[in-house]
Amino acid sequence: MSARVLVAPDSFKGTMDAPTVAAALADGVRDAGGVPDVCPVADGGEGTLAALRAALGGHLVEVDATAPDGRRVPAHYLLTEDGGTAVVETATASGLHLIDPATVDAFAATSAGTGELLAAVAAAGVRRVLLGVGGSGCSDGGRGALSAIAAAGGLRGARLRVLCDVATPYEDAARVFGPQKGADPATVVRLTDRLHETARSLPRDPRGVPRTGAAGGLAGALWAVHDAELVSGIDAVLHAHGVVARLERAHLVLTGEGRLDAQTAEGKAVAGLTRWAQEAGVPVHAVVGRSDVSPEVIARLGLSGVTEAGDPAALRAAARRATREICPTGTATKEVTTP
């Protein structure tokens, strides 16, 4: 009986999107005689809109929005065919890819564009909004987004569910993520002071609350002012794709992301998927662009193994080896059924 492998990677940020990674891994599974079940995922960051579009359907609506550095850029959101649900991805309007960390004014970088997207969704009459908040290029504590929403007349009764890729609390957002967004040590201190100042001014204090630091504090601002629900982004995506049932048919999970590091366990795709797979008793092998963690951390994550691979050919070879080593053709014991 051929092994059935759930192929569920995130993107390799900046190099390959999740569907490209998944296609290469799936080819390796086929090379080894396995049957791939292809399911590109995301954790609330870049690629979340595409991952949810594959599960929910719908069409894109374009909106002119403000980038973190103040430029006007085209952004978009996903609207389901019934018009009842919208998916907004912070990265499309406020993403790290829209700034140059070497030259950006990290203190001035704004989340206004995401607020403009949310306001446009609310003005269209959408009642349920899923907001992925990873991959942002700002650490303004959500101030820009709150101002943009208020200027447009509010959210008009739309309910926000924020899909977070980290568990970091509000007050730590600049310290943990500011440097990758262009903030030097002195600017991190200024940003952190402003986060505390903003937190004291909000209707609810987001400090100390898990996930409120996502997207430079944007998640916490929306929680405090608009009663947003903060949830695990990877859990929401896996649920939308019916992964519990797919794991019941799997003998192996192949996942991956661009970099395995200290943040992986804080809500990233690999950690979330591994948690689900452990509950189903399915081993997980991660194929990553780079691994910066020790074997002890890999074991704590619950991974059966990790392989570094930086291009489609290497991904394919890694998947072929993992499939042959963990579940060789002819040794699978799970019954494989059709969905």
Q: Give the pLDDT confidence score for residue 1 in this predicted structure.
A: 66
Q: Give the pLDDT confidence score for residue 336 in this predicted structure.
A: 35
Assign a CATH topology to domain 48-234.
Glycerate kinase, domain 2 (3.90.1510)
Instruction: Tell me the domain boundaries of the chain.
Output: 4-41+241-326, 48-234
Q: Give the pLDDT confidence score for residue 332 in this predicted structure.
A: 45
Contacts of 228 (CB under 8 A, 6+ apart): 131, 160, 161, 162, 219, 222
Identify residue 321 by its one-letter amino acid code: R
Structure tokens belonging to residue 125: 């009459």
Classify residue 179 by its DSSP letter: G
**Which residue has tokens 């963990």?**
326
* Residues of the chain under the 50 pLDDT cut: 330-339
**Which residue has tokens 């101030």?**
143
Q: Give the pLDDT confidence score for residue 266 in this predicted structure.
A: 72
Q: Give the pLDDT confidence score for residue 327 in this predicted structure.
A: 67
Q: Give the pLDDT confidence score for residue 335 in this predicted structure.
A: 38
Give the CATH number of domain 4-41+241-326; options: 3.10.129.10, 3.40.50.10350, 3.40.50.2300, 3.90.420.10.
3.40.50.10350
Alpha helices in 83-216 (DSSP H): 90-94, 112-123, 143-151, 173-177, 185-201
**Which residue has tokens 């996930």?**
211
Contacts of 242 (CB under 8 A, 6+ apart): none
Separation CA 236–CA 52 (nearest Å): 9
Contact present, 8 and 22 (Cβ < 8 Å): yes
Structure tokens belonging to residue 50: 């595409």
